[in-house]
Amino acid sequence: MLPFAMLAGGLLLLALLAFVSLTQGLSHISVATAFDALIAPKDTPDHRVIHGVRLPRTAMALLSGAALAVAGALMQSVTRNPLASETTLGINAGAFLVVAVGTVFWPGLLHQYAFLFAVAGGAGAALLVFGMGGGRKGTPIRIALAGMIVTLVLSSVTSALLLLFEQSTQGLFLWGSGSLNQNDWSGVRFAWPWVAGGLAAVLLAVRHLDLLAFGEETAQSLGHRVAGTRMFAMAAGIVLACVSVSIVGPIGFIGLLAPHIVKLSGMTRHAWLLPLSAIWGAVILLGADTIARGFTTSAVGELPAGAVTAFIGAPWIIWLALRVSRHAASASGAESRASMQIALFARRMPYPLLVLTFAALLILVSLAALMSGTMHLSAEQVVSTLLGKGTPLHEKVLIDLRLPRLLTAAAVGIALAASGSLMQSAVRNPLADPQIVGVSSGAGVGAMLLLIAFPALPSGWVPVGAFAGGLAAAAIVYAAAWRRGLSPTVLTLVGIAVAASGSALINILVVYAKLTLAPALAWLAGSTYARSWTELGQTLPFILALLPLAWWLGRRVDLLSFHDESATGLGLPVRRTRLLVALLAVLLASVAVAAVGAVGFIGLLAPHAARMLAGSNHRRMLLLSSLIGAVLLVGADWIGRIVLSPREIPSGIVVALIGAPYLVFLMFRSGAGKG
């Protein structure tokens, strides 16, 4: 009886939402007119709008929602991972990147074969995530982290393309947030055979898919070819997801939400799971589009439906994190503890020499940054000007322009590295950083809300908004994880949910406030462009006040690396300490975001490199990681200024591109060790 209730309820909601969507838009069309257009169409302006614009949009929402939901259900079945979806496996980010590349370099080919571009990107990203996450043996937390890292890296490359080729990529920002806007039936005509054919093909394989739930050994003992079924189902899932992406852009979390809504009713057999997921996926996407269009005005324009689905999907991911943690906390916790210690190998250099080496490297990179620019200065001219013996022109260029920018980059790099060190210790996971666990996006939302709501406020108030946003994000993460004893698994998964929701809200704010695209993208990626003594003066006091606290917590942070029971036995109040350490990490990350925007990966790369070189002693690692963080951001700022001079690449994008190979190596190495 329940399957039929789910079916009837879904179809009823779908019909209601579809009819409501026909009445929404910039031009008001009454319910009676919409009904008349469906029953007895006439050649009137309102009827032409309904049949030429609104019906295709509604049909596209149904097809995309169904395709994404079925894709998510297939991926969860194949991987036996409840967190698998087109979003968490990086498929959306990969497809978006390759479509952006096609837009820039092969626009003619892209126009004809957008679907193939999307499939190539989605499949490549999924393979990368699986390899980094340990393949079939990877835990849900590990796969989710690998997907988040791949998504961040690919998104950084995409942002670089959007910034560097702004003219040829106009319109991709809204499309990249997931827009259902349709001007004719061409998208629907392309999508429906793929979606209908894909759903029919997987429905023919439901018996084989059901056997996967029993495990590989049991299925093989029953004579089932597990590898073939897995390959077919995953390929079908990627194709279905990429059909949607190629037309409406990457829309997140439909493939995660819809299958779980169906599974909550007890429907786990694929004969029911797949069609019901398709119906409820269409309901979710059409509902999100209805909400988005409710905020549409002629002044603001249209909010992307994909941003709405990501925003409303966060509570579901939090619920899933709590649910998954019941089964996976012990395993992934052990993995986290082991991972925190993988760096204790072969210290080839004494610690004082390490510190001196990176201090010298920071000086060299800083000197190169001060020398480089539209006006090249020699090393002698730089030193002479810093000593007060330079010409007025050199003083203007160096003291007023380059030096405050360099010092801001160094200070922010130190803050992010220290924040990452603290965050990894609090979450007890070496792959956590302020961006991955949601703090950076929360701080970004807070800063943007303050600027939009109070545009007349002095810029000195921006850190206050960033603090508030970062603290709010951290409060959500820790409140959700409190009932699980602040489990590292739950903290990380909930952080991923909050990060996704914050990023979606930032996209909504960019569209709603009609921010100029290039500056908005640069700030979202993290940019040190045009930072002056004013920004440095607003940033540096906070960092100088917080760093001694991070040093003072050294022994307590070291104890957090042990099992909770062991740390408690040594007299450490684990929950309170974890909260204090995380709060300090949030404050440092918020200062950094307020100063230069959402720079990612430094909080991940610098502490991990320091741990590999100097061990896990917190105070040693804090000093070394701070130096590495400063080198990374100062170096990224320098590279971003000279590679395509006179144009600039935001330093946050450069950091992501520099760090990507290291992260991929790290994840593959760690996954191979567990295999």
Q: Of 599, 588, 603, nearest to 539 (Cα)?
A: 588
Give 334-379 pLDDT, tens digit per residue.
Answer: 444 444 444 444 446 788 999 999 999 999 999 999 999 888 889 9
When pLDDT is averaged across residues 267-286 and rounded to a whole number, the result is: 92
Evaluate whether 434 touches 423 at the Cβ level (below 8 Å): yes
Lowest mean pLDDT among 348-362, 376-390, 440-454, 503-517: 503-517
Fold of 339-668: ABC transporter involved in vitamin B12 uptake, BtuC (1.10.3470)
CA dihedral 414, 418, 419, 424 (to 10 degrees): 140
d(CA 444, CA 462): 10
Average confidence score pLDDT of the chain: 83
Of the listed ranges 109-118, 157-166, 192-201, the one predicted with least confidence: 157-166
- Tens-digit pLDDT profile for residues 629-667: 999 999 999 998 888 777 788 888 888 888 777 777 766
Q: How is the chain split into domains, by residue range?
A: 2-38+69-291+299-326, 339-668
Residue 600 near residue 656, CB atoms below 8 Å: yes
More confidently predicted of 458 and 258: 258
For the four alpha carbons of 632, 491, 147 and 286, in that order, the dihedral sign comes to negative
Neighbouring residues of 215: CB distance < 8 A, sequence distance ≥ 6: none
Q: How many CB atoms lie within 10 A of CB 339?
A: 21
pLDDT band at 94 (very low <50, low <70, confident <90, very high): very high
Overall CATH class of domain 2-38+69-291+299-326: mainly alpha
Mean pLDDT on 70-95: 88
Could you tell me the pTM of the whole model? 0.81
Look at residue 296 in the predicted model and tell me its pLDDT.
65
3-class SS of residue 265: coil
| CB of 615 closer than 8 Å to CB of 344 | yes
Q: Percent of the chain, pLDDT > 90?
A: 29
Strand partners, 297: 301
- Tell me the C-alpha distance between 637 and 40, whole Å: 62
In this prediction, residues 441-453 reach a mean pLDDT of 82
User: Where do we find the tokens 């982290």?
Assistant: 145
How far is residue 385 from each of residues 362, 397, 400, measured CA to CA in Å? 19, 10, 12
Residue 330 clears pLDDT 80, i.e. is over it: no
What is the arithmetic mean of pLDDT over 562-571?
77
Bigger pLDDT: 549 vs 211? 549
Residue 136 pLDDT level (bands cut at 50, 70, 90): low
How far is residue 573's CA from residue 581's CA, in Å, rounded to a whole number?
12
Number of residues in the chain: 675
Decide if pLDDT at 148 tops 60. yes
Rg of the chain over all Cα atoms, to the nearest angstrom? 26
pLDDT of amino acid 130: 84
> What's the CA gap between 588 and 540, in Å, rounded?
11
| Per-residue pLDDT, 468 | 87
In which band, very low, low, confident or very high, does the pLDDT at 671 lie, cut at 50, 70 and 90? low
40 contacts: CB under 8 Å, gap ≥ 6: none
Q: How far apart are CA 115 and CA 517, in angstroms?
A: 26
CB 248 within 8 A of CB 180: yes
CA–CA separation, 487 vs 472, rounded Å? 19
Confidence bin at 588 (pLDDT 50/70/90): very high
What's the rounded mean pLDDT across residues 188-208?
A: 92
Residue 485 has pLDDT above 80, yes or no: no
Measured at the CA of 71, the angle between CA 262 and CA 192, to 5 degrees, comes to: 105
Distance (Å, whole) CA 327 – CA 300: 45
- What does the pLDDT average to over 508-529? 67
Question: Got the DSSP string for 153-191?
Answer: HHHHHHHHHHHHTTTTTTTHHHHHT-----SSSHHHHHH
Alpha helices in 341-389 (DSSP H): 351-371, 379-386
- Give Cβ neighbours of residue 225 (< 8 Å, ≥ 6 apart): none
Lowest mean pLDDT among 47-56, 81-90, 338-347, 604-613: 338-347
**Confidence tier at 502 by pLDDT (50, 70, 90):** confident
Mean pLDDT of 483-512: 74
Specify the range with the lowest mean pLDDT, choosing from 87-96, 246-255, 370-379, 572-581. Answer: 572-581
Can you give the pLDDT at residue 29?
81
CB 308 within 8 A of CB 512: no
CB atoms within 10 A of CB 39: 7
Instruction: Using DSSP, state whether 649 is helix, strand or coil.
Output: coil
Residue 219 phi, psi dihedral angles, 5° rounding: -65, -40
In 3D space, the residue among 600, 585, 592, 610 whose CA is nearest the CA of residue 660 turns out to be: 600
User: Strand, helix or coil at 297?
Assistant: strand
Tell me, what's the pLDDT at 563? 73
Which string of DSSP letters, residue by residue, matches 379-431? Answer: HHHHHHHHTT-S-HHHHIIIIIIIHHHHHHHHHHHHHHHHHHHHHHHHHT-TT
Residues linked to residue 301 through DSSP beta bridges, in sequence order: 297
One-letter amino acid at 204 equals: L
pLDDT at 90 over 80: yes
Residue 454 has pLDDT above 70, yes or no: yes
